[in-house]
Structure 1
Amino acid sequence: MLLKHQQHLQRQRDSVAFRMKKLAAKQVEITTKTNAVKEKVTKKYEDMKRVLDEDLRITLTQLDAEHDATEKLVEDRIEECYHLTQELDQELSNIAAQMKKQETDIQNADTEKRISETLKATDPDLIQVDDFKNKQLLSLTINLLLFIRSQVPVTKKLFQSYAADVVLDADTAHPKLIISPKGDLATYTETWQDVPETASRFDTTLNVVSKRGFSEGHQYWEVEVGGKTYWELGLTYPSIPRKGHEEDSWLGRGKESWCVEYFNGDYTAWHNGVQHELPLLAGKPFTRIGVFCSFPGGLVCFLGADTMTPLHCFCTGTFTDNLHQALCPGHDNGGTNWKSLKICDASRSAPVL
């Protein structure tokens, strides 16, 4: 029986070893595919840069050609004036000689006429740049820039296709939070609200979670945070502690949740009680924060949604339960943090101010 058990364990070990080889091959396959996509995307951006560089070259060449033509016209007019001054200098010299000889028969009519015609023909106000065409050209360039800005970053278009319909669950909100009837606003108040006590309600930290969770696919949501000095938002399993005085009920302090915290200009990412300071983002205010989750990829990414600036990414490997969106609007922070946190329509970009 020991021999049979030994043979069985050996077969099991061989199966596990074979699985490890398959996983290693899968790792190589994933890396190869990712690198191939990165290479293709890089080439496309290089193509776009070449197209824009060529368009810039053509536009500047056209402007240079018109400038050269206008400049040549000005030079011709200067040359006409120069020749006339030479002729006038000669006539003045002749007049001086005639005066010495007391010759009074001076023929001024032709000279006066040539002076008048030359001054009229060389009037600088007659030489005009085509301002209307230049304004049109600048307008077209601005429109092109606006179009490009509307298309980039491309991750914005991708994430917008994953936009989730997030509705906050008032039955989970701390009693000092007011949740709007539509479930899209969370507002801090110093007054303890008269709300039913439920097992799902947070009673020590100013949290609220979404009504619906998700367990597959990709999800993206955005929260308007402009004008606030303190907030936390992220994702959590339903098992996050709701009661008591332990910090585990704070977003990101336990293994059940992931979050980014903003406090007085500083950003910090949290998971399982581990703090990740983000000093490069200090002092950068964003009006919207985006959260992207890839359930099959085990990925949670936080972004400054205004410009799709990456804040922090957590690579969790595998999620073990449904995920819910979660947020904390924070206390009043010395009277600087009364504004609500607002769930935005992530399928649409924020209006340009």
Structure 2
Amino acid sequence: MTVDLLVGGSQKKSSVIRDSIIRKYQEIQAVLDEDLRMTLSHLEMEERAAVSALDGLMERNCSLIQEIEQDLARLTVTLDQTDTMSFFSYPEQQDTETVDRVMDLLSRTDPSSVSLDEAKAEQILSLTNKMLLLFCSQTPIIQKLVKSYSTEVCLDAETAHPKLIISHQGDRATYTNTWQQLEDQPGRFDTTLNVISLQSFSFGRHYWEIDVTGKTYWELGVTYPTISRKGTTEDCWLGRGDESWCVEFFDGEYTAWHGGVPHQLPFTKRFCRIGVMCNFPAGLVTFLEADKMAPLFSFCAGTFSDCLHLALCPGHDHNGTNANPIVICNAPSPTSDL
């Protein structure tokens, strides 16, 4: 009964939050729709005024054409009644008033004198472009929020399996078929191709992005420091015991693991970046396709019983198809060798 009440309470809280977020998005959309309506209303009003003015000019032009035709007819009659040489010998006898009136009407009925306020239109376009840039800088909201949890980590070379080469900066692990002669540290994995981060975390929210470009086999996730590291027990593998959570990619298939329980994921695309987020307040471990922040899988631990390390497995060579390293994108900047 108590469990049912807790489940019902969590679902109710989730529903309230979801409904509130939906309402906020609807309010944002309503504000944008109203602003668009007002802007278009102004532009349409000015367009109607310009069209009306052009219609008036066209009517006046038609009247002007009729007057010109009448004046031409009158001048033709005058020419017929007047000696041609005499007419051209005395230009002052021409109807200069008519010519002046025609030119004046032509200038006042020039369609190019009617135009929209192009400067204001350019200002509106500039403002809308700035608004677009602002929205683009703030969205997707979930991407901006999750990336704000980014935390720098580097790999602990003393935990790495002897067939893993860890970069000097601690930002990448590469498989080599050569067993390196390394000191057998108590915390070193000796069977599984794992390595964990030097840093551990016990509170807050943390996010890392892992570059798996070109790889055909990898595992990544988070683990307690108590994960088994020696021997061939299945608990040494990420996600196979209760101490770790992971997503695995192998032969084109994605699988989420925890406690030895596999969860087949419905994805076929080979992703380039995987996001891993651990949320201590909520006890969540979430895996994302980092480029579009598309959720892959989420585990709810309720409450974590220990600190967490980022854990990676770049996988073996997979018949020569898996040579690329696995790379932490949130690694610290390289330090100087001087």
Please indicate the TM-score interval, normalised by the length of the shorter structure.
0.7 to 0.9
2:225–2:309 contact (8 Å) kept in structure 1: yes
1:137 aligns with 2:124: yes
1:229–1:265 contact (8 Å) kept in structure 2: no
CA deviation after TM superposition for structure 1 residue 341, in Å:
0.9
Which region of structure 1 is more displaced relative to structure 2, 157-166 or 69-78? 157-166
Deviation string 1:86-126 (CA, Å, 9 cap, x unpaired) is: 33344455566x38x93357955344434444444455554
1:294 aligns with 2:282: no
Secondary structure (helix, strand or coil) at the match of 1:198 reads coil
CA deviation after TM superposition for structure 1 residue 249, in Å:
4.2
List aligned pairs for 1:57-206, cutoff 5 A.
Answer: 57-92=37-72, 98=77, 102-104=80-82, 107=94, 109-123=96-110, 125-160=112-147, 162-188=149-175, 192-206=179-193
Which region of structure 1 is more displaced relative to structure 2, 45-54 or 323-332? 323-332
Secondary structure (helix, strand or coil) at the match of 1:53 reads helix
The aligned amino acid for 2:44 is D
List aligned pairs for 1:145-294, cutoff 5 A.
Answer: 145-160=132-147, 162-188=149-175, 192-215=179-202, 217-225=203-211, 227-230=213-216, 231-243=218-230, 249-262=236-249, 267-271=254-258, 272-279=260-267, 282-283=268-269, 285=271, 288-294=273-279
Deviation string 1:121-148 (CA, Å, 9 cap, x unpaired) is: 4555544444443333222222222323
The 1:277/1:69 distance shift into structure 2, 3 A limit, reads same
Aligned counterparts of 2:71 and 2:261: Cα–Cα separation in 1: 98
Aligned counterparts of 2:193 and 2:114: Cα–Cα separation in 1: 71
CA deviation after TM superposition for structure 1 residue 274, in Å:
0.9
The answer for unaligned runs of 5 or more in structure 2 is: 88-92, 333-338
The 1:145/1:251 distance shift into structure 2, 3 A limit, reads farther
> Larger Rg: 1 or 2?
2
2:160–2:188 contact (8 Å) kept in structure 1: yes
2:172–2:325 contact (8 Å) kept in structure 1: no
1:169–1:208 contact (8 Å) kept in structure 2: yes
The 1:331/1:117 distance shift into structure 2, 3 A limit, reads farther
Deviation string 1:51-82 (CA, Å, 9 cap, x unpaired) is: 22212222222222332333333333333323
1:45 aligns with 2:25: yes
Match of residue 32 from structure 1: 12
CA deviation after TM superposition for structure 1 residue 301, in Å:
1.2
The aligned amino acid for 1:80 is R
Of residues 310, 316, 329, the one that matches 2:295 is 310
The aligned amino acid for 1:35 is S
CA deviation after TM superposition for structure 1 residue 180, in Å:
3.4
CA deviation after TM superposition for structure 1 residue 182, in Å:
3.9
Aligned-residue sequence identity (percent) comes to: 45
Deviation string 1:273-317 (CA, Å, 9 cap, x unpaired) is: 5142233xx44755x432222335332111234443222212344
1:265–1:285 contact (8 Å) kept in structure 2: no
The aligned amino acid for 2:329 is I
The aligned amino acid for 2:129 is I
The aligned amino acid for 1:291 is V
Aligned counterparts of 2:223 and 2:250: Cα–Cα separation in 1: 20
Secondary structure (helix, strand or coil) at the match of 1:37 reads helix
Paired residue total: 320
The aligned amino acid for 1:274 is P
Secondary structure (helix, strand or coil) at the match of 2:239 reads coil
2:167–2:173 contact (8 Å) kept in structure 1: yes
CA-based RMSD of the aligned residues comes to 3.7
Which region of structure 1 is more displaced relative to structure 2, 206-215 or 336-345? 336-345
Aligned counterparts of 2:324 and 2:296: Cα–Cα separation in 1: 24
2:316–2:322 contact (8 Å) kept in structure 1: no
The aligned amino acid for 1:325 is L
Secondary structure (helix, strand or coil) at the match of 1:293 reads strand
The 1:26/1:342 distance shift into structure 2, 3 A limit, reads closer
